[in-house]
Structure 1
């Protein structure tokens, strides 16, 4: 059985009610639910939440909410891994075996159905891998990054001060949209950012991290650009 799990707790602090906040005419969680359903990859699309209103919105857009997440995996300190392990254990208690699990974040308005399909195919084509998820290239060489120490600048890798950008190895980061994985890997605590994972590069023009109100405004502007409105 292949399951999509969309974590969506109700206690967002920096953007209140973030997971069901309106984004271009519909709750932002709807984009993740609809992409999961349209991909045809899943036997069940589940929203894991502690919030009745979020549960109702999720059901309106076609997701299932077979349980409400308990308090111990719903506070500010609960990790995504905690949420996924809770869901894995819940399905095990129902005598339902999960073969592949995809964690899809609720705030991923630029998620693409083709990416969900392609990453799943990559994972099943590589049986020795435990995870597969999208990444994008940093817009600037990470080797030239600086830090501030008592207000003064220091390079992380000063040996590359005079290295040409085109001679530096590209760096990538997780885009924070979704992650395919095997339940046994989560249970074993195998690190996702390791050689047990396959990276699937996508364009950074579809990548935004929605943590602050400023991020939200940027995402709305980006959506207009991508849809050709500006």
Structure 2
């Protein structure tokens, strides 16, 4: 069985209730549920939450909420991997064998159906434990700056000062959208960022963390711009 698991706890601090706050006409989590449904990849789509209101919204948009996430996995420091492990363990314990599980974040409105599909394909073809979305940094990280007391500046790596940007290695980071994994990888809590994972590159214009009010505003502008472009066939 292939299952999508969407973690969505109720205790967001910087953007209260962000998982179900309206984002461009729908609760934020609804965009992730819709992408999972449209991908056609999953036998079940499950939301892992500790919150009754989130559970109600998730069901309204077509996801299952067959259990409540325990308090021990619902605090500010709860990690993604233990949360997904709990969901996989619950399913197996209920007699539903899991082959692959895909963690999809509840705040991923830019997640594309084809990226989910490609993630499954790359996981299967590579034989890796995980496949997840990545995107490139907009500027060479080798030329990063550090701000010190009084606003003074120093390079993190001064040896790169005279190196041309085009001669520096391109760097990538987690896009924070989805993580396909084998059931064994989740159950054994293997490290996701390792050589046993394969990347699914996505363009920077479809990646935006949504952790602060500024992030949220930026995401809304980006989302509406993409929707306008797509509606005109661009």
**Both structures adopt the same fold (TM-score exceeding 0.5):** yes
| Equivalent residue, structure 2, for 1:130 | 129
Counterpart-to-counterpart distance in 1, 2:188 and 2:176: 22
SS at match of 1:103: strand
| Equivalent residue, structure 2, for 1:189 | 189
Counterpart-to-counterpart distance in 1, 2:48 and 2:190: 22
| Equivalent residue, structure 2, for 1:172 | 172
Counterpart-to-counterpart distance in 1, 2:212 and 2:110: 17
| Equivalent residue, structure 2, for 1:13 | 13
| Equivalent residue, structure 1, for 2:218 | 218
| Equivalent residue, structure 2, for 1:120 | 120
Q: Is 1:145 matched up with 2:144?
A: yes
Question: Which range moved further: 80-89 or 60-69?
Answer: 80-89
Counterpart-to-counterpart distance in 1, 2:43 and 2:91: 13
RMSD: 1.3
TM-score by length of 1: 0.96
Counterpart-to-counterpart distance in 2, 1:181 and 1:222: 29
Over residues 163-204 of structure 1, what are the superposed CA-to-partner deviations in whole Å (9 max), with x where a residue is unaligned?
001101100011101110112112323211110110111110
Over residues 107-159 of structure 1, what are the superposed CA-to-partner deviations in whole Å (9 max), with x where a residue is unaligned?
111110000001110111112x1111111110000110111233432222211
Deviation at 1:95, TM superposition (A): 2.1
TM-score by length of 2: 0.94
- Is the contact made by 2:6 and 2:105 (CA closer than 8 Å) also made in structure 1? yes
Structure 2 spans left out of the alignment, 5+ residues: 230-234
